[in-house]
């Protein structure tokens, strides 16, 4: 090979998107993320990824988790355009409230990397608009913590939706836990109110289910069955909206 022949640059996975500590965790720590990785995401401006991980890291403290969601809701419903500065400031404040030794799986970032963080947000924005277009009166139910990646986009879409200004967050593990009285959160965008979603009270009729990725469909099927048992309502595929369908 000629010495003068130009070599093609080698592009390593994650290099162009995520900070070094996150790339290291993905490659050498089986994707386990903790405070260090979340802080690096916040400081590098990856706010949606940071929101996702902070929610996961707070999963053992419903009180703190609900306060975090409320603070985000207040900011995101109030600010129209450049939310980054205030959201980043809020996320920085939350870094000191996270459990010090806890880590959570972060391999979702490898999936996001394939298309890029901006494309992922664009897909969530399109999904929110599609949900409103299909039925603006239906309450979007974000399934699992991964959909918190699109939390800001759904608030942006629904805060000005005249037919429905509510979002729900469903945690599938809570549905399956008989000792849990709740299945997630209900978020009132009009009054900036976050309440626990009680599994024993009447559930929201005519929901839209929002999922980021469907692989086998098993989790979605369990939630559909739960809804049918509780309400008698069958959630058909026309009310299920997915960013990536791998089935």
Q: Are residues 90 and 169 in the same domain?
A: no
Q: What is the CATH number of the domain that holds 169?
A: 3.40.50
| Nearest by Cα to 37 from 28, 214, 114, 128 | 28
- Helix/strand/coil for 106: coil
Domain count along the chain: 2
User: Are 104 and 131 found together in one domain?
Assistant: no
Angle between helices 47-57 and 108-115 (to 10 degrees): 170
Q: What is the pTM for the complete model shown?
A: 0.90
Are 106 and 24 within one domain?
yes
Domain span at 145: 116-247
In tens digits, the chain (247 residues) has pLDDT values of 444 444 343 334 444 579 999 999 999 999 999 999 999 999 999 999 999 999 999 999 999 999 999 999 999 998 766 667 889 999 999 999 999 999 999 999 988 887 788 899 999 999 999 999 999 999 999 999 999 999 999 999 999 999 999 999 999 999 999 999 999 999 999 999 999 999 988 999 889 999 998 877 788 888 999 999 999 988 988 999 999 876 6
Residues 67, 109: one domain? Answer: yes
137 and 219 share one domain: yes
For residue 155, give the nearest of 198, 202, 194 by alpha carbon: 194
- The answer to whether position 92 is within a domain reads yes
Q: Which two tokens stand for residue 141?
A: 């139910």
Q: Distance between CA atoms of 22 and 52, rounded to whole angstroms?
A: 14
102 shares its domain with 133: no
- Regarding whether 121 and 107 lie in a shared domain, the answer is no
Is residue 83 a contact partner of residue 48, using CB atoms and an 8 Å limit? no
54 plus 128 within the same structural domain:
no
Which of 115, 133, 165 represents a domain boundary (last residue)?
115
């Amino acid at each position: 090979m000629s010495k003068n022949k130009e070599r093609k640059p080698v592009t390593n996975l994650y290099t162009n998107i995520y900070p070094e500590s996150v790339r290291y965790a993905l490659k050498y720590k089986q994707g386990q993320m903790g405070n260090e990785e979340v802080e690096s995401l916040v400081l590098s401006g990856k706010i949606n990824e940071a929101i996702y991980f902070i929610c996961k890291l707070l999963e053992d403290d419903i009180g703190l988790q609900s306060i975090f969601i409320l603070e985000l809701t207040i900011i995101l419903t109030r600010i129209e355009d450049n939310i980054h500065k205030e959201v980043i400031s809020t996320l920085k404040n939350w870094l000191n409230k996270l459990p010090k030794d806890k880590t959570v799986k972060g391999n979702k970032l490898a999936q996001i990397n394939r298309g890029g963080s901006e494309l992922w947000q664009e897909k969530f924005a399109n999904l929110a608009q599609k949900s409103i277009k299909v039925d603006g009166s239906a309450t979007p139910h974000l399934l699992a913590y991964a959909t918190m990646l699109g939390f800001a986009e759904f608030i942006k879409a629904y805060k000005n939706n005249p037919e429905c200004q509510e979002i729900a967050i469903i945690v599938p593990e809570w549905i399956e836990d008989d000792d849990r009285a709740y299945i997630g959160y209900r978020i009132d965008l009009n009054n900036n109110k976050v309440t626990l979603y009680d599994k024993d009270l009447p559930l929201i009729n005519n929901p839209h289910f929002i999922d980021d990725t469907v692989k086998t469909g098993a989790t979605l099927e369990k939630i559909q069955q739960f809804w049918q048992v509780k309400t008698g309502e069958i959630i058909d595929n026309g009310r299920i909206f997915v960013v990536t369908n791998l089935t």
